[in-house]
């Protein structure tokens, strides 16, 4: 139902993609792939941000997307942003694949939890799951915009 192409903020090179599917139970599933050989054998934090504008090295996405007005935290913990995807471990080739399925996201127009038009940021560091409201995750090294598939 939606997709996002992830590109490096430094040079625009393709670094991955996210694909979104609407499940039969109404939940949204995201399949995320990252390919960053320069980050091999490390982890990066991934968050959804408020705006789908990757300009200014990803800074135009503004802050974390947080439609439920909760504290920043680890996915599925007591309190977390709906866009707090978390830390993703990259293998020896700098590749990773994860899937997240949740009822916290929607693609329906005029709903607060609509993910369409949000930014996806890949950070250069890891999320400490404590620092508010960002997780102290480092620079924005990758960015993509979630767009609906017509």
pLDDT in 10s for each residue of the chain, 150 residues:
999 999 999 999 999 999 999 999 999 999 999 999 999 999 999 999 999 999 999 999 999 999 999 999 999 999 999 999 999 999 999 999 999 999 999 999 889 999 999 999 999 999 999 999 999 999 999 999 999 997
* Phi and psi at residue 39, to the nearest 5°: -110, 20
**Element (DSSP H or E) covering residue 19:** strand 14-22
**pTM (predicted TM-score):** 0.96
Whole-number Å distance between alpha carbons of 93 and 119? 25
């Amino acid at each position: 139902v939606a997709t996002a192409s992830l590109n490096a903020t430094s040079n625009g090179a393709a670094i991955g993609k996210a694909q979104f599917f609407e499940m039969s139970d109404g939940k949204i599933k995201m399949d995320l792939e990252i390919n960053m050989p320069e980050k091999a054998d490390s982890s990066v934090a991934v968050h959804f941000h408020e705006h789908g504008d990757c300009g200014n090295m990803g800074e135009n996405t503004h802050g974390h997307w947080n439609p439920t007005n909760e504290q920043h935290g680890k996915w599925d913990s007591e309190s977390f942003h709906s866009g707090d995807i978390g830390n993703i471990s990259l293998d020896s080739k700098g590749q990773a694949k994860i899937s997240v399925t949740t009822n916290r996201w929607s693609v329906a127009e005029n709903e607060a939890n609509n993910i369409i038009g949000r930014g996806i940021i890949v950070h250069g560091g890891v999320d400490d799951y404590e620092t508010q409201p960002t997780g102290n995750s480092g620079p924005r090294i990758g960015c993509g915009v979630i767009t609906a598939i017509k």
